[in-house]
Amino acid sequence: MAATATSSVPQVAASGMAPLPDVRVLCAIGLSGQLGLRGGLPWEGDRRPEFKADVARFFELTRGHVLLAGPATVGSIPPFAFEDRTIAVLRSTDDPEATLRRYSGRVVFIGGGPPVWSAYARFVRHWDITRLPYDGEADRWFDPAWLKTGAR
């Protein structure tokens, strides 16, 4: 089951600056909001249909667009995905707004987890969250405050 939240994002640029792109997040959480476990997905390797469909949906929806994520997330992306989307690594030293303006006019998906989403949440116009049938261990959790941060 996927839930979405959309906020109104001004797309008008300040004088002399490129407008912000259409910034989105596409993520999956467990039944209790689980996001990560020991640097990976808590349900990594689960071959049930719901989990396989979620991965396929991620690659389908991001095709032709930009995916920005931290080094660990980018390192986990299979080689085929680099053929039909722009993928770039985010660093903690990057200025989020300046980074996003490089992709003006594009749809940009922000991948990763809590540190990345905390930095970029204020720019996100659309959150697409799939709740998977996982209710086990986790060390990273979805923070509903990201939805309330509001986009500029």
- pLDDT tens readout for residues 3-60: 655 554 444 445 578 999 999 999 999 999 999 999 999 999 999 999 999 999 999 9
CB crowding 8-27: b at 16 or more within 10 Å, else e: ebeeeeeeeeeebbbbbbbb
Radius of gyration of the chain (CA): 15
- pTM of the entire predicted model: 0.88
| C-alpha dihedral sign at 139, 143, 93, 71 | positive
pLDDT > 70 in the chain, percent: 88
- Give the type of residue at 114: P
What class does CATH assign to 2-6+18-141?
Answer: alpha beta
**87 contacts: CB under 8 Å, gap ≥ 6:** 66, 67, 68, 69, 74, 77, 81
Give the whole-angstrom CA distance, residue 120 versus residue 100.
Answer: 9
Q: Give the Cβ contact number of residue 79 at 10 Å.
A: 6
Element containing residue 115 per DSSP (H, E):
helix 114-120
